[in-house]
Amino acid sequence: EVQLVESGGGLVQPGRSLRLSCTASGFTFGDYAMSWVRQAPGKGLEWVGFIRSKAYGGTTEYAASVKGRFTISRDDSKSIAYLQMNSLKTEDTAVYYCTRDGDPIVVVVAATQRENYYYYYMDVWGKGTTVTVSS
């Protein structure tokens, strides 16, 4: 069974850090890009960022609201994706979902003819872990 299980959520004070983990099973983790999506209490979904598979560079992209504060990484040997959250703000309070990304969108950079890969749909979701930022 394909499964994602998040862990590491909890109560943290503003300005502090927290690291979330996402343990995957039931599929070849290293073949897929992975994303994090969050949902503030009573609100809609917000994309946080994704990490490409090693085959596509293993690089990351982030939403403007978290860029410079959050870092996504992966350990393919353990089938785990991480979300390191620094300088947390009260508005980061949310349920954080780990997701497996679908097929990549291939974008060719005209100047270099280099291919970049982007992801926008998530075909597997974890149950989520709650992060509360409060003093």
Q: Which positions lie near other proteins, rule CB under 8 A?
A: 35, 37, 44-47, 50, 61, 63-64, 97, 102, 105, 107, 116, 118-123, 125-128
| DSSP structure class, residue 134 | -
Nearer to other proteins, 65 or 93 (CB): 65
CB of 91 to other proteins, least distance (A): 14
CA–CA separation, 81 and 87 (whole Å): 20
Strand order of the β-sheet with 80-85 is 3-7, 18-25, 80-85, 70-75
CB of 126 to other proteins, least distance (A): 7
Nearer to other proteins, 44 or 135 (CB): 44
| DSSP structure class, residue 104 | P
CB of 135 to other proteins, least distance (A): 27
Q: Which two tokens stand for residue 108?
A: 């060719």
Nearer to other proteins, 14 or 120 (CB): 120
Q: If 0-12 CB within 10 Å is exposed, 13-18 middle and 19+ buried, where does residue 78 land?
A: exposed
Nearer to other proteins, 109 or 135 (CB): 109
Q: Which two tokens stand for residue 72?
A: 């996504």
